[in-house]
A and B are shown apart, each in its own frame.
Chain A
Amino acid sequence: MEQLDKKIVLGLLLIALILPLFANEYTLHIVILACFYVILSSSWNLLAGYSGQVSFAHLALSSLGAYTSGLVSLKLGIPPVFSILIGAIAAGIVGIIIGILTLRMSGSYLALTTIAFSEIYRIVISLEYEITNGQVGLSVPGLFGEAGSKITYYYTAIALVVIVVFVGIQKLVQSDFGLTIRAIREDETAAAAMGAKVVRHKVIVFAISSAIAGLAGAFLAHYTLLVSPEMATITEMGIVISMSVIGGLGTFIGPILGGVSLELISEYVKEFGNYHLMIFGLILVLVMRFSPTGLAGLLVSLYTRKRKAEQLSQIRKEA
């Protein structure tokens, strides 16, 4: 499994490295969007897949990071490279607050409360014209200026963010802290009976995952040069959940597979308007029916089958 993960990651890194050499501006734009979704689905996977907390507030927190960064750079003149970090921190702090308020809840109660937060947040920023410019959205400065001419810079920056986030999440999951959150996912009472501070662990994961979502949102804002309430819709949240689940929830490589594949598919099907969500739904149903562990699980089973066949043929040869 780890061997396969390494192969996939190395392959993707290689593609990422050579991509700017032959890809045009449009392709790089799609890849940047895919990277945005990979970051979001990786952080949602940390929350739901590894710690078992299903939150629907992830996109609202991403949007909060975007608005914070946008406003800080606009009103205070702080360069976007720093305001993006401030946006991430703001999302992390709000994540801690939501975490403290909700994490004694679990399952459907947590899900419903985070939906309520998400919707209240979206309505507030949509109706607030003085600060957020309402439905029209907020024009914000670019990280490297206009995207068109500097798209390779944006691509390189988000690729680096993906690598840092991805490696960071993996290190976290494989650490003692990560083992404890996986135990909490399996059984909170048993984890507490083993001395685990359940609420503290859950709040920390919620905060980290929210900060990463905020980072992604802030980056996107300074790439598209616009922040609007659109980012915080439940539909967008559904897309990120689909990416995580289709890729393989609680797996190392799942969010990358889900994020990249669904973003690419959405480019092909976007001419169908909102019907593309139906196509996502259909893919989700098919994946759940035929590979409940997602694309990552499917790849692992194909890889294991291939390895077994190779070992069998080796044994036959030796015999």
Chain B
Amino acid sequence: MLKVTNLTKRFGGTVAVNQVNLQVNKGEIVGIIGPNGSGKSTLLHTITGVYQPDEGAIEYRNRDITRAPLEEKARMGIGRTFQNLRLFKRLTVWENLMIPAIQLKKDRKVAEEEAQELLELVKLHNHATEQAQNLSIGQQWLLEFIRAVMLNSELIFLDEPTAGFHPNMIQNFLDTLQKLHARGKTFVMIEHNIPAIMEVSTRLIAVAAGEVIADGDPKTVHANPQVVEAYLG
């Protein structure tokens, strides 16, 4: 589904992402772990088009999307959330969900049914007319999550999703993620919460100093001495 080859992103003299190769197959939940500053978010920004890569190639469904801007990648079905919430705060919950539908010129009735169903899935249906900024942080995160789904995204990148949740709500989020996964969505999830990512991911990629240091079965990667070394220093 997604193939990243020798991807490199530099900021001045700092190499934030260094010759990264990875592949995401349809139906996977790929977890990306790594210590702070290891380049996980930069990797995500570079793949999704927030940053332009300095080297390397990105293919999505056998199409070269290396230089495609953020909005074009979004229209191709690559959705994403942000580490720091980026909702349209003064718009209502409902309006937030309609924005991707409008850009894709979805049939209004279909979009409304879809939005209603997603709101019920994350239990925000009673908040549809509220401004997004009036929701709790956890609710805002859920809204950002389903807003990415509204984009008809088949591949969704999640940047540290559980950081926004009260511990009691993390399980609800993981259940929602798995329900959407069961409907055919593919996820790539950067996460620091190791128990959470171990629970849902079908594959784990470990990143350190901008490079992929392990890629494979979650338990194997988690136990990899190089990964342990990267985390413990």
Residues of A at the B interface (CB closer than 8 Å) are 176, 179-180, 182-183, 186-187, 189-198
Cβ of A195 and Cβ of B104 under 8 Å apart? Answer: yes
In the assembled complex, B69 has its CB within 8 A of some CB on chain A? yes
Judge whether A194 and B99 touch: CB under 8 Å.
yes
Determine whether the beta carbon of B74 is less than 8 Å from that of A190.
no
Contact partner of B91 (CB less than 8 A), chosen from A176, A183, A189, is A183
CA A228 to CA B52, docked complex, whole Å: 47
Please measure, in the bound complex, the distance between the C-alpha atom of A197 and the C-alpha atom of B147, giving whole angstroms.
17
B188 smallest CB distance to A (angstroms): 15
Question: Which of A176, A180, A187, A198 is within 8 Å of B86, CB to CB?
Answer: A187
Q: Which of B80, B91, B100 is within 8 Å of A182, CB to CB?
A: B91
- A198: chain B residues at CB < 8 Å are 71
In the complex the two chains form, is A180's CB within 8 Å of B48's CB?
no
Are A192 and B99 in contact, with the CB atoms below 8 A?
no
Task: Give bound CA distance, A189 to B70, whole Å.
Answer: 8
**CB <8 Å contact, B100 and A179:** no
Bound complex: CA of A38 vs CA of B211, how far in Å? Answer: 58
Whole-angstrom distance from the CB of A285 to the nearest CB of chain B? 24
In the A-B complex, the 10 residue pairs with the smallest Cβ-Cβ separation, listed nearest first, are A195-B103, A190-B86, A186-B88, A195-B74, A192-B70, A194-B100, A192-B71, A176-B102, A195-B75, A183-B88
> Given A193-B50, A194-B100, list of 19 further CB < 8 A pairs?
A176-B98, A179-B102, A183-B91, A186-B89, A186-B90, A189-B70, A189-B86, A190-B82, A190-B88, A192-B70, A193-B70, A193-B71, A193-B74, A193-B79, A194-B99, A194-B147, A195-B104, A195-B151, A197-B103
The main secondary structure of chain A at its interface with chain B is: helix
Residue numbers of B with Cβ under 8 A of A are 48, 50, 69-71, 74-75, 79-80, 82, 86-91, 95-96, 98-100, 102-104, 147-148, 151
Residue from B103, B104, B148 having most chain A Cβ neighbours under 10 A: B103
How distant is the Cα of A184 from the Cα of B104 in the complex, in angstroms?
16
A195 touches B71 (CB 8 A): yes
Q: Are B91 and A179 in contact (CB under 8 A)?
A: yes
Q: Which B residues lie within 8 Å of A193 (CB)?
A: 48, 50, 70-71, 74, 79-80, 82, 86, 148
Task: Report Cα–Cα, A196/B79, bound state, in Å.
Answer: 13
Closest A-chain residue to B102, C-beta based? A176
CA distance A196 to B88 in the complex (A): 13
